[in-house]
Amino acid sequence: VVGLMLATLITTAAFTTGDTVDHSISRAGYQQLQRSDLQLNFVGDTSMTNDIAVYFADSATEALDQRFTDGKLIDGFLPLLQEPVAVVNGRTGLSEPSIVLSGVDARRLDDLGGLRLVDGGTADVSALQPDEILLSKRAAESLDAVAGDVLTVSVNGTPSTVRVAGIVDDELASSGSRAFYEHGAGGGAMLLSSVQQMTGHAGQINRLTIALHGDVATSHERSDEAIDLIQPFLQSPEGAAVLGTTQPVVVEALKADAVAQAEQQGNLFTTFFLVLGLFSIAAGVMLIFMIFVMLAAERKAEIGMARAVGAQRANLMQSFIAEGMVYSLLAGAVGTAAGVIASLSLVSVFLKVAGGFDFIEPSITVRSLVISYCLGVVITFLTVTVSSYKVSRVNIVAAIRGTDEEPPRPRKRQVSWRWVAIGIPAMIVPPLGLWWMLRKGFGVPSAWVVAPVGVALGALSVLVADHADSQFLFSLGVSLVPLSVAVLAAHYEVSRRVTWTLVGAFLSAYWLAPISYDELIFGHALHGSMEMFLLSGIMVVVSFTLMIVFNAQLLTKLVQRGHTRRYTASAVLVTMTAAALASGFALGDRGNGLGQLLFLLAGVTGIGAAVALAAVRFPHLAPALKMGIAYPLSNRFRTGMTIAMFSLIVFSLATFGAINASFVSMMSADGGDGGWDVLVSANRNTVGGADLRSALVEEDAPVASSINAVGRTTIFTGRSTVRVA
């Protein structure tokens, strides 16, 4: 049961992790946006990453309110004046160079729900005095501020003194916070008139949000209807006159976009975990197959006697399928529970410990549990059915005696019109319908069913890959064709070793060569995404498994003793190892990874050289080494399945390692800092011009002598236009 639950565990963990991410980001969006469903946007389609401030008359709020607020679609308009300012806490001496000072219309904000106090309840914004501020939680933590503290706020070099009236949650109205991933210094809310006076923007605002009818979690569903109502007016001459600006304006669906982003992130996490988990699912499928093959091997004599007394092959299949179904149902339940535990452990323990994921809150939906359980049971059941079909094929005499089975002699099948009739409607599932109609109906050899279908599918995949811009289809087609041809060659008793070795060599050359074959054929590179990890992993494992299994007898050549050429194998392998190492060092990072492949080859040949040398230098080890090589080869199928299973697991671990290394390299790449060690930032309301080094020298700061160079840069955040001459 534990072995069979792997597929269910992985799918459950993937779906529940996606649910958690979706729920957490949506919840963070609702908490930070509150009743701000829409906003006027003067900077383009999205204002999320643009710091430009466009000022317009605050009288527009009342005009728009009278025109559109009806209590059925629109509940109200909320004007804001938000400016970055520097602040110092006089009690603690802590400072922040940039927090968002938010001027709010107290009456309108209270009517729309107000600001939430961190200790619970709602702040009475209307009771604020002109010199009082409601500090956001992040800003309070940065300044170590509490209610009653006196802060010094600097705008354009002019200081103002304000008193902390309370600590509120970070949200759009209190600190400009509108994204789940924001980790800035926070902000604070004051009366709109006070902020207008402090910043020199009397009678102006730079943000106007719109609250739609409904609660915090559902009001955004009416965004499109409200935009269609408001936007035509704002873009008309009458609307421009109301706003007091000729700046182009659109209505941005702020909260709806946040919810859509949450769903997108949740789907991304689900897809990411599922695709990478497919390696483990494939290994689990092989494990299930191996379990039933081993069960059949243990019951071989029992199966033979059952066939001898009249049991049909179908009866044996039914017995194995029934047993496997019981296992799969139990394994599905255990796997679902284990997947939930794994997901909760990931989001509740590891992410919280890692830091930066405080917004994560576990969430599990019944839909995900049902889908995960059903997928796990179906995958397990299909694998059990296929394995039952294989293990039920026994030679009665060989099974009773416990001897190896001889391959059955091919015999010509008679046409069965019953199976032809069954196969025609079964073509709704093409593989099943073709098998029943061609193999069981017309008696076509299995190789002539599998090979033409495989070649046709492979060729079709290659042909449509360019139109679909899919590297997956191209690579799948290139891989299917040689595998299908090899099946037909085996049917005509072409040397299995030569056939499958050539197929393995072709696949390994295609998948490991640093060449873009699709670009050579079509003239441009095709698009490939995360699905290529799965396909490449499986095909690389298949290629090397074929070459190892059908050439493993060559390993016995490594174990030589008692003749004059006993050092031949060791010498050849040592030479190959040295050549591969030298070539790898010579190539370095060039050749699109060819150097790394040569190092891998050197490792393999080096191990072989060590084994060969050990057999020569210590002759008493030779019999044990030969037995260790020969015994697994007595059952090539089980050996190949075991190699492939472990190879897939190692490949998945290597893939995770590569992805992790890529993220680490991206976030902390050497030279990415441009040689600078310290970054000092300022907001747009900070008076510039002071020389940092000179200022530190004047203050007798010891760090001044450690500064070798000072540079400056300004990021342009205004509107820009690109024109083609």
Most confident among 121-135, 407-421, 526-540, 578-592 (mean pLDDT): 121-135
- Least confident among 205-209, 222-226, 301-305: 301-305
Structure tokens at 324: 């496997």
CA atoms within 13 A on the CB side of 675: 5
Q: What percent of the chain has pLDDT over 70?
A: 89
Query: Whole-number mean pLDDT of the chain?
Result: 82
Torsion of CA 217, 222, 227, 229, to 10 degrees: -140
Flag whether pLDDT at 673 surpasses 60.
Answer: yes
Q: In Å, how far are 143, 157, 200, 508 from 92, measured between CA atoms?
A: 7, 21, 29, 65
Query: What is the arithmetic mean of pLDDT over 226-233?
Result: 92
Maximum CA extent, the chain: 105
What count of residues does the chain have?
725
Secondary structure percentages of the chain, helix, strand, coil, to 5: 60, 10, 30
Most confident among 152-161, 425-434, 666-675 (mean pLDDT): 152-161
Element (H, E) at 289: helix 254-298
Rounded-to-integer distance, Cα 570 and Cα 580, Å: 15
Q: What are phi and psi of 652, to 5 degrees?
A: -65, -40
Q: In Å, how far are 114, 293, 426 from 185, measured between CA atoms?
A: 21, 62, 64
Determine contact, residues 104/80, Cβ cutoff 8 Å: yes
* pLDDT value of position 312: 84
Banded model confidence at residue 722, pLDDT cuts 50, 70, 90: low
Q: Which residue has the tokens 């790394």?
A: 596
Banded model confidence at residue 204, pLDDT cuts 50, 70, 90: very high
Flag whether pLDDT at 497 surpasses 80.
Answer: yes
Query: What is the arithmetic mean of pLDDT over 590-601?
Result: 76
* pLDDT value of position 652: 77
Rounded-to-integer distance, Cα 289 and Cα 380, Å: 9
Determine contact, residues 478/518, Cβ cutoff 8 Å: no
- Residue of 7, 712, 640, 630 whose CA lies nearest to 371: 7
Q: What is the b/e burial string over 549-582, where b = at least 16 CB atoms within 10 angstroms of the residue's CB?
A: bbebeebeebbbeeeeebeebbeebbebbeebbe
Helices 568-587, 594-617: axis angle to 10 degrees equals 160
* pLDDT value of position 390: 77
Flag whether pLDDT at 591 surpasses 70.
Answer: no
More confident residue, 690 or 316: 316
Flag whether pLDDT at 501 surpasses 60.
Answer: yes
Flag whether pLDDT at 135 surpasses 90.
Answer: yes
Banded model confidence at residue 355, pLDDT cuts 50, 70, 90: low
Flag whether pLDDT at 347 surpasses 60.
Answer: yes
Question: What is the gyration radius of the CA atoms in the chain, in angstroms?
Answer: 35
Q: What are phi and psi of 456, to 5 degrees?
A: -65, -45
Q: Going by C-beta distance under 8 Å and a sequence separation of 6 or more, which residues neighbour residue 409?
A: none
Most confident among 88-92, 360-364, 378-382, 666-670 (mean pLDDT): 88-92
Query: Residue 406 carries which DSSP code?
Result: P
- Least confident among 63-67, 216-220, 647-651, 669-673: 669-673
